[in-house]
Amino acid sequence: MSEKKKFHIEYEIKSSPRILFNFISEPNGLMQWFADQVLARDNDYTFIWDDGEQQKAKLLIYKENKLVRFKWLDDEPQCYFEMEVVQDELTNDVALSITDFATQESIAERKQIWDSQIQYLVSVIGA
């Protein structure tokens, strides 16, 4: 199996950092765009999709209004996915920066999945 590589993508989102952060950190926010159901107990999250798929993750880092980092429990030790709210100091533009891991062969596909998820997030926020 080929080794997973880290990749970054950034999306400009017309939203306040606080509102955007709720959509990436709160189970109710995540259920509106990321998964159909999100169960959280302490730092243990279960993401459930309508097709019956479910994945468990641990919340590794939580920085209020800034960043969340999750680790899929069934993934390789060095892998995680992170969603960071980035605000430009000069323009105040807000972006969502994604860090994720995928094999070289699947990075393009992974990015497409993020593109579609973030597009949905933008429509939910109404940005």
pLDDT in tens, 83-110: 999 999 999 999 999 999 999 999 999 9
pLDDT band at 127 (very low <50, low <70, confident <90, very high): low
Can you tell me the distance from the alpha carbon of 15 to that of 19, in angstroms, rounded to the nearest whole number? 7
Task: For residue range 27-37, list pLDDT tens digits in order.
Answer: 999 999 999 99
The model's pTM? 0.93
pLDDT band at 66 (very low <50, low <70, confident <90, very high): very high
pLDDT at position 38, please? Answer: 97
With beta carbons less than 8 A apart as the criterion, state whether 71 and 62 touch. no
With beta carbons less than 8 A apart as the criterion, state whether 11 and 118 touch. yes
The per-residue pLDDT of the chain, averaged, comes to: 95
pLDDT at position 1, please? Answer: 60
CATH superfamily ID and name for 4-125: START domain (3.30.530.20)
With beta carbons less than 8 A apart as the criterion, state whether 21 and 85 touch. yes
pLDDT at position 2, please? Answer: 75
Q: Report residue 119: phi and psi, to 5°.
A: -60, -40
pLDDT at position 81, please? Answer: 97
Q: Could you give the angle at the alpha carbon of 100 between the alpha carbons of 21 and 119, nearest 5°?
A: 55
With beta carbons less than 8 A apart as the criterion, state whether 47 and 55 touch. yes
* Residue 111, phi-psi category: left (phi > 0), alpha (psi -120 to 50), beta (remainder): alpha
Residues 6 or more apart whose CB falls under 8 angstroms from that of 77 comprise none
